[in-house]
Amino acid sequence: HPPTLELSNTTTPLLLPPLFLRSKYKLTVKMVRMSVLADCLKTITNAEKRGKRQVLIRPSSKVIVKFLQCMQQNGYIGEFEIVDDHRSQKIVIELNGRLNKCGVISPRFDVQVHEIEKWVVNLLPSRQFGQIILSTTFGIMTHEEARRKKTGGKVLGFFY
């Protein structure tokens, strides 16, 4: 049964959702990580704004690694190293100061090939630079690769 909290002046117990952890004296609330990718990109953006040379990302995921590979191929970040800590792994990323902004698009909207241009106009500051990352049936790739392979997919995020 769910944990209850009994208040001193009432006799009816208060039912609590399972996110509340009860210690002996105080009630603590545990935060839930909604999107690992969103946390990662926000951490990178904040570190870049502060002028840091490297940043530690945790936890890691396959999607984050593929996203970082796309950023690296386009020269927006330097090398990155995956550190295995026998849990959910960490990633150490070398920043090179070229990244202005990166973000996640939630929910992951479906995009067909002929709609990619509309997303480029809405998300990126210019046609000359920046990438939109799509999750396609051929894997995670930039919008330019998706156009070359004539495939659509779901929008994961962007960087420029």
Give dist(CA 87, CA 132) in Å, integer: 30
Give dist(CA 57, CA 41) in Å, integer: 9
Q: What is the pLDDT of residues 104-119, one digit of tens each?
A: 999 999 999 999 999 9
Structure tokens at 60: 């890691």
Under a CB-based contact definition with an 8 Å cutoff, are residues 131 and 159 in contact?
yes
Give dist(CA 93, CA 78) in Å, integer: 7
pLDDT band at 22 (very low <50, low <70, confident <90, very high): low
Average pLDDT over residues 80-98: 93
* Start-end of H helices in the chain: 36-50, 62-73, 116-123, 143-148
Average pLDDT over residues 8-34: 63
Predicted confidence (pLDDT) at residue 101 exceeds the cutoff of 80: yes
Q: What is the pLDDT of residue 10?
A: 53
3-state secondary structure of 43: helix
With a pLDDT cut of 90, the percent of the chain lying above it is 73
